[in-house]
Amino acid sequence: MSLRFTDKVAIVTGAGRGIGKAIARRLASEGAKVVICDIDKESAEKTAEEIRKEFATEALALFVDVADENSVNAMVGEVIKAFGKIDILVNNAGITRDDLLLRMSVEDWDKVISVNLKSVFLCTKAVARHMVRQRFGRIVNISSVIGLRGNVGQTNYGASKAGIIGFTKSAARELAGRNITVNAVAPGYISTEMTEKLPNELKEQMLRQVPLGRPGQPEDVAGVVAFLCSDDASYITGEIIRVDGGMAM
């Protein structure tokens, strides 16, 4: 495989495991220097070590709480200190706190909106400052098919993921003049720890809605993110690509 990201510096949030880890591995496999940042520092360290062993590139593990402005700014400062620039940002960190609307607590609403949506604003703002100066940047936000079509028990999650789509389009318009693209990927049912914890009945029900008949793998999402970060996608901005086996068409 050709190395599409040689000399590029990429930050992936929530990259200690799951989809974020697959994205970091994919970018590293194609030559990017990757920053694995996660609120779980231990898993970030483990992933970075794995990448350093497996691929001929640099991988830096950093703690970040993406919902906290000071933490995000400190993380971005560390990256600039280590690598001098940032070319790619993948806003991947996300959580669920599911409950029916009438039972949902204000805490669970606020938490999901902060970790999934406010985070995208904080990280993009902190990184875009540097991208604007270098007149190059690739930003990819991880939304969800739930942001497109909704789901019972996920009003907070659905609102956060739909919010990401609105943010993506506005940021794409604002930053286009500086050669910075901003796109989003909307995964469907992907096999990770986030979906592993769901009851079997719900998993089977979700699977029945997938025309391709299988859950997606984190690598299915990583390939599309890598495409959006590559030169092949340099004329794509403000786009939302579903990676869902046809689930939400």
- Length of the chain in residues, anyone? 249
Residues whose CB is less than 8 angstroms from the CB of residue 67 and which lie 6 or more positions away in sequence, other chains included: 114, 115, 118, 119, 122
Per-residue mark of binding to ligand NAD, 58-87 (x: CB under 6 A): ------xxxx--------------------
Binding residue (CB under 6 A) for ligand NAD from 93, 122, 180, 241: 93
By CB under 6 A, tell whether 17 contacts ligand NAD.
yes
Beta strand pairing call for 59-63 and 33-38: parallel
Q: CA separation (Å) from 247 to 118, 136, 210?
A: 27, 34, 5
Per-residue mark of binding to ligand NAD, 188-217 (x: CB under 6 A): -xx-xxxx----------------------
By CB under 6 A, tell whether 165 contacts ligand NAD.
no
Q: Write out the binding residues for ligand NAD, residues 124-153 only, by CB under 6 A.
A: 142, 144
Q: How far apart are CA 65 and CA 68, in angstroms?
A: 6
By CB under 6 A, tell whether 16 contacts ligand NAD.
yes
By CB under 6 A, tell whether 92 contacts ligand NAD.
yes
Instruction: Check if 157 is active-site.
Output: yes
Which residue has 């004329």 as its token pair? 235
Q: Which two tokens stand for residue 24?
A: 């970091």
Binding residue (CB under 6 A) for ligand NAD from 33, 36, 38, 224: 38
Which of 141, 201, 199, 132 has its CA nearest to residue 165? 141
| Smallest distance from ligand NAD to CB 7, Å | 26
Which residue has 């914890």 as its token pair? 197
How many Cα atoms sit within 13 Å of 122 on the Cβ side?
Answer: 23
In the bound state with ligand NAD, the residue whose beta carbon lies nearer, of 22 and 233, is 22
By CB under 6 A, tell whether 39 contacts ligand NAD.
yes
The SS3 call for residue 183 is: strand
Q: Which two tokens stand for residue 61?
A: 């593990």
Q: How far apart are CA 90 and CA 19, in angstroms?
A: 11
In the bound state with ligand NAD, the residue whose beta carbon lies nearer, of 40 and 232, is 40
Q: How far apart are CA 30 and CA 50, in angstroms?
A: 15
Q: Which two tokens stand for residue 48?
A: 């970075």
In the bound state with ligand NAD, the residue whose beta carbon lies nearer, of 92 and 237, is 92
| Smallest distance from ligand NAD to CB 108, Å | 14
The active-site residue, picked from 20, 47, 144, 157, is 157
In the bound state with ligand NAD, the residue whose beta carbon lies nearer, of 73 and 235, is 73
By CB under 6 A, tell whether 123 contacts ligand NAD.
no
Task: Kindly list the residues in this chain that would bind ligand NAD in the complex (CB under 6 A).
Answer: 13-14, 16-20, 38-40, 43, 64-67, 92-95, 115, 142, 144, 187, 189-190, 192-195
List the catalytic residues. 157
